[in-house]
Structure 1
Amino acid sequence: MTLSLARRLTASRPFVAAALLALAAPVVSAAASPPASPAAAVNPQVEQAVAALRAITTLQADFVQTDRNGQRLTGVLSMQRPGKIRFQYQPGIPLLIVSDGAALTLIDYEVRQVQRWPIRNSPLGALLDPNKDVARFATLNPTGHSEVISLDVRDPRHPEYGSITMIMLKKPSAPGGWELNSWVALDSQNRRTTVRLANQRYGVALPSNIFRWNDPRGTGRK
């Protein structure tokens, strides 16, 4: 490994790990929640955005991930609903984030370390968990543009789950007529990660093993 690559990995590893923590907020034990109040009427734009997200079967896109200090990493995102996602980082970064539908896993091939977090209670659950009632916890942010939807999703009864703000742009060729453009994930400790997508491809055939990973600890394939 060259010195420049070693320095790059040393600098990027904490950033990627922190980014994953923002995407998968740690689960914190909470007191029993009070009964939910009767559902209020859902804004039509919220319904459109949620319907568009649920209309995605598979998605592949290029991404740029930025932390609150402005450090950036690039890669390719692959998503398959329900529950599966893969962040394949740029060459030279031996890290992988993947969800098999139940948990987000961070694999660090450089130090042979594996960490897992439940996805159902993470900000990314709004994108991936088919049982999550996104519309119930969504707030529409004014944008001033009829072709831009900004949707903030957070469960007020569970602040430890963090939040996600999704930006969707009107696009007739996208599922449901709206395209997921970017999102900002914020965990309960105020760690922020921004992910911007480009070159979105829908309905692509994804390899059956793309949401699996090789265990660097020598225990086989997951």
Structure 2
Amino acid sequence: MKNLIFANSDFAPTRRQVLGLGMVIAGAAAINVVPGFQLLASAQAAVPPAAQKIADHFSSVKSMSGEFVQFGPKGEQTGGKFFLERPGKIRFNYDGSSNFRVISDGKSVVILNKKLKTSDLYPLSKTPLKLLLDDRIDLSGNRVKSVKEEDDLTTIQLSDKSVFGNARITMMFDPKSYELRQWTITDAQGKDTTVMIFNVKEGVSFAPDTFAIDYTANRELNTKTR
């Protein structure tokens, strides 16, 4: 993993790609092109025990940090470091001269590009990140669209129209350790944004301002650019 060479270290993801962030391995594809998925027949269909165990384990991890590589729909590639604290908090520090940042403080998600002096704010509740950052990963109702169990990977696909419309998230876990390996967000146009994580540490502590959003600066910056 240390020897990964970034195709474009200054690549700054688009806003759509950032809101489509999910933890996923390179090359993971949308559900409609991956064979072997077992579609759940109805909202009342039973969630496989392995999937529920994985979801419960991931929910129990209250904090983690590590490195990530992100792949855009056209193969764009970048990376950086991430920090996660449940519930609701995450931060992505992207490599490159754009000094790109994505921060969720539990209520809002801000997308910062200091090079371009842009700051875009969205409700966390309306982004796919919400399903990853909740206190509990909810597999109830009709959120689970498919589950695939293999010897080396368990894949769970979720969607929730009330959270992010027609987008969907596909999460991939190690079936033995239950650790999250990757996720893919497929947007309403069928385009994927993939993120792979590695060198992950669980149970870490963060400085109080790690997930802080400067709402005043955001407001002032957007007032100036109108």
TM-score by length of 2: 0.74
Deviation readout 1:61-101 (Å, 9 max, x if unpaired): 10000011111111001000000000011142321101001
Judge which range, 86-95 or 211-220, deviates more: 211-220
Where does residue 73 of structure 2 map in the other structure? 68
Deviation readout 1:122-161 (Å, 9 max, x if unpaired): 222211123763343124432432x421000012677715
- Inter-CA distance 48–135: structure 2 relative to 1 (3 Å threshold): farther
2: CA distance, partners of 1:193 / 1:151:
16
Gaps of 5+ in 1: 1-6, 25-36, 172-176
Matched, 1:45 2:40: no
Residues 99-114 of structure 1 aligned to structure 2 (within 5 Å): 99-114=104-119
Aligned length: 193
Where does residue 150 of structure 2 map in the other structure? 144
- Inter-CA distance 217–85: structure 2 relative to 1 (3 Å threshold): closer
Alignment check: 8 A CA contact 1:122 1:162 kept: no
Where does residue 17 of structure 1 map in the other structure? 15
Gaps of 5+ in 2: 1-7, 23-41, 222-226
Matched, 1:210 2:224: no
Where does residue 201 of structure 1 map in the other structure? 201
How many angstroms does 1:8 deviate by?
7.0
- Structure 2 residue matching 1:82: 3-state secondary structure: coil
Alignment check: 8 A CA contact 2:111 2:121 kept: yes
Alignment check: 8 A CA contact 1:138 1:154 kept: yes
Correspondent of 1:77 among 82, 97, 114: 82
RMSD: 2.8
- Inter-CA distance 104–217: structure 2 relative to 1 (3 Å threshold): closer
- Inter-CA distance 102–148: structure 2 relative to 1 (3 Å threshold): same
Alignment check: 8 A CA contact 2:19 2:127 kept: no
Higher relative contact order, chain-length normalized (CA < 8 Å, sep 6+):
2
| Letter of the structure 2 residue corresponding to residue 112 of structure 1 | K
Matched, 1:58 2:63: yes
How many angstroms does 1:187 deviate by?
1.8
Q: Equivalent pairs: percent with the same residue?
A: 24
- Inter-CA distance 196–187: structure 2 relative to 1 (3 Å threshold): same
TM-score by length of 1: 0.75
